[in-house]
Amino acid sequence: MPVVQLDDRFCMSDALGSQKLLLDGYNRAVMECASDQLLRDFNSIYQDELNLQHQIFNALNNKGWYQLSPADSQDISLLQQMARNVQQQQQQQTMHA
């Protein structure tokens, strides 16, 4: 049976994955919370956990252990156009409501 090395890279990658799962749960709690006070509490915790996730991501990225490929300029343009279209549709719906 192969032995898994619990080195810094493995531990930090595991921490990042755990933060992502945790954030999914808090995101759902924030979206579906009926109590204003509880919503504020969940939102505060969510922001704290999001900041921690970003710190872990940056540490991995700075060490070269989590690298992202640059986005293609054509893909960026397409997504920007899609976002503008959605925004225009929302503005039109607001004006006609």
Evaluate whether residue 30 is within a structural domain.
yes
Evaluate whether residue 36 is within a structural domain.
yes
| Residues 31 and 16 occupy one common structural domain | yes
| Residues 41 and 73 occupy one common structural domain | no
pLDDT in tens, 14-69: 999 999 999 999 999 999 999 999 999 999 999 999 999 999 999 999 999 998 88
Q: Tokens representing 16?
A: 């990042």
Q: Tokens representing 52?
A: 């921690």
Structural domain total, the chain: 2
CB count in 10 Å sphere of residue 50 = 15
Evaluate whether residue 27 is within a structural domain.
yes
Tell me, what's the pLDDT at 3? 78
Q: Residue 96: pLDDT band by 50, 70, 90 thresholds?
A: confident
| Residues 57 and 74 occupy one common structural domain | no
Domain assignment of residue 75, given as a range: 69-97
Evaluate whether residue 2 is within a structural domain.
no
Alpha helices in 1-97 (DSSP H): 8-31, 36-62, 73-96
The label of the residue with tokens 């799962």 reads 21
Tell me, what's the pLDDT at 46? 96
Tell me, what's the pLDDT at 95? 83
Provide the Cα torsion 7, 15, 54, 37; round to 10°: -160
